[in-house]
Structure 1
Amino acid sequence: MNGQYYELPQAREAVVQKRRGKLSRGVLFLQDNASVHTARVSRQVLKDTGFSEIDHPPYSPDLAPSDYFLFSNLKKELRGRRFVDDNRMKMAVESHFDCKEKEYFWAV
């Protein structure tokens, strides 16, 4: 995939077909910082469609600890376990975090 293949005109047409009137109110478009999204050609296509782009932060300090610490440890603990229903799974997650000391959540 490269910037020349970026399919925003098709996305714009889909908005026109599926969300009538939405274009007149404006479309906010969120994408990550992948090179195909930041290429000059891609940015021009985005501008031509009339979409407004919401910049994706390169690093979000409020998400990094949970992405790289809390959830990875939770996944390790739950790996291989099977749950008969959602409530049992929720109980296991709550149990995982309830038994942690307050300092556990400060680890980065």
Structure 2
Amino acid sequence: MAWVYLICAGVLEVVWAFSMKQSEGFTRLWPTVITIFVMIASFALLSISMKSLPLGTAYTIWTGIGAVGAFVVGIAVLGEAANPMRIAAAVLIISGLVLMKLSSS
């Protein structure tokens, strides 16, 4: 169950990163409220997952999901650049996440 909490926490990290971008520096009310609420939920789920997962594994997976997820949302929703170097960097992050998961089994 800890892995489910961790994955949900990572997805919520993507949501709060996107809503933070939409808040325009915390100048728009609802995106700011969503950012804060989802950020708290993400941290709470991360905390719960850390009860049974090692710190290094949980934190690395959480930040990796957030980083790659934000990268994908940036490209798909915000029209950010998807050049080969950025894609290669995302692939390397995903490779690291897979290795971290395999090493914790």
Asked if these proteins are the same fold (TM beyond 0.5), I'd say no
Higher helix share: 2
Q: Larger C-alpha radius of gyration, 1 or 2?
A: 1
TM-score, scaled relative to structure 2: 0.25
TM-score, scaled relative to structure 1: 0.25
Structure with larger RCO (C-alpha < 8 A, sep 6+): 2
Higher strand share: 1
